[in-house]
Amino acid sequence: MQQVNAGIIGLGTVGSGVFNALQLNGGLLSSRIGIRVAVKKIAVRSLAACASKISRTLLVEDWRSVVDDPDIHIVAELVGGATVARDIVLAALKRGKSVVTANKALISAHGEELFAAASRHGANFYYEASVCGGIPIIKSLREGFVGNRIVALYGIVNGTCNYILTRMKLERAAFADVLADAQRLGYAETPPDLDIDGHDAAHKIGILASLAHGFWVNPKSIYMEGIRDITALDIQFAEKLGYTIKLLAIVKKTAGPATKQSPRARGSDCPRGIQVSVYPTAIPSSHVLASVNDAFNAVFVRGDIVGDSLFYGRGAGKSPTASAVLSDLADAALDLKFGNKHRVPPFVPHECAGAVLPMEQIVSAYFVRLNVVDRPGTLAKIAAIFGGLNIGISSVIQPEGHEGRSVPLIFMLHYAANGAVMAALKKISRLPVVKGRPMMIRVENFE
């Protein structure tokens, strides 16, 4: 049986998971692809500090000795970060080696450069594990849906945020309390900013958006909000209105300005651009994504031919990520065996690709919570401001029996441009009867 040699750089959670998975299922992998994938070297930061029971004959400290070894055909970059990892990947690609990575931050920051380097040097670059762990969403977008225009893609792609929001809904718990539990259980880092402020989800959705629409999406063009300001009260009122709040990563074609009745413009097959964003979203509780709970991930894809598809599973962790890396190792080994240097290209411009639109132009419906003094005329003043900016109100929840006191006032708004709604809320926040900052959560009805 033919053998290809792999070098692993990084022996942390993912690196050790990949090595252990190969030890467990390497024979199965070989029997399925007809090639033995053997680990020849593993680069670690410090041999003295390495507590692994892996044979010391495999371990080295200098990652260059892995990349430069002519007997190593595949380099698995599993160190994380976007600095040293970039150097590793570029060095390996320059030598024409196949590269496998699980590094979403690296691809988000330097993807355009790395894919260009792979093309220039005739090398293959694999990154299935960079988005949603063990869920095969990269290969599905590149290959499974190659004959589809991707109309929309919605992802619950950060397990930490999904775990927090799930517990807040089920237990009526406060954000800070659940976050503390998530950190204690290892679901959230300390500090947790990368997850709860939306950065991790933005890294992932940028990669998926680039694949779906054929041009590299600059991370700076992705609109991002996290879940820090979501309260148990927001979740409670959303539930009363038939909605569940999720941190949703969205990629969606936009055809033109909306009316109060519909988020879509008519009469054009070519979009003005695409929406690429991450923010807390109220979604119908009847939708399949609303039932994705705890630390699980899911990606809902709508293609113009295939229709709606759902990908669900564990989006992070040692074993799910290792599973995705093994898939890429198998693909890399097969491509080496048959001399294939030309997989489906990651970024092929489409005839109507457009560009990423600024958030002010994005249209959606809205959930708005205000804290107001309950006195006659309050609702009328607020409604007048919305009406003055051509923003329609679909429903209002106003608790009774608290005249003169500060109470929550909930609005569901019709479809409107984000810029108009933000302008309205800025005016509303200046009213003497409004206390504190208005809370706005966008609504997605998957229309």
Cα 332 to Cα 75: distance, rounded to the nearest angstrom: 10
At position 94, the amino acid (one-letter code) is K
Q: Are 208 and 141 in contact (CB under 8 A)?
A: yes
User: Within 10 A of 191 (CB to CB), how many other CB atoms are there?
Assistant: 10
At position 124, the amino acid (one-letter code) is N
Of 41, 97, 169, 204, catalytic? 204
Give the list of residues 6+ apart from residue 426 with CB closer than 8 angstroms, or none: none
From the list 364, 382, 394, 367, the residue with the least C-alpha distance to 427 is 382
Compute the 3-state secondary structure of the chain and give helix, strand, coil in percent, each to the nearest 5.
40, 25, 35
From the list 298, 329, 327, 300, the residue with the least C-alpha distance to 315 is 298
Give the list of residues 6+ apart from residue 317 with CB closer than 8 angstroms, or none: 133
Both tokens assigned to 220: 């700076």
Give the list of residues 6+ apart from residue 342 with CB closer than 8 angstroms, or none: none
Tell me the three state secondary structure of residue 41.
strand
204 counts as catalytic = yes
Active site residues: 204
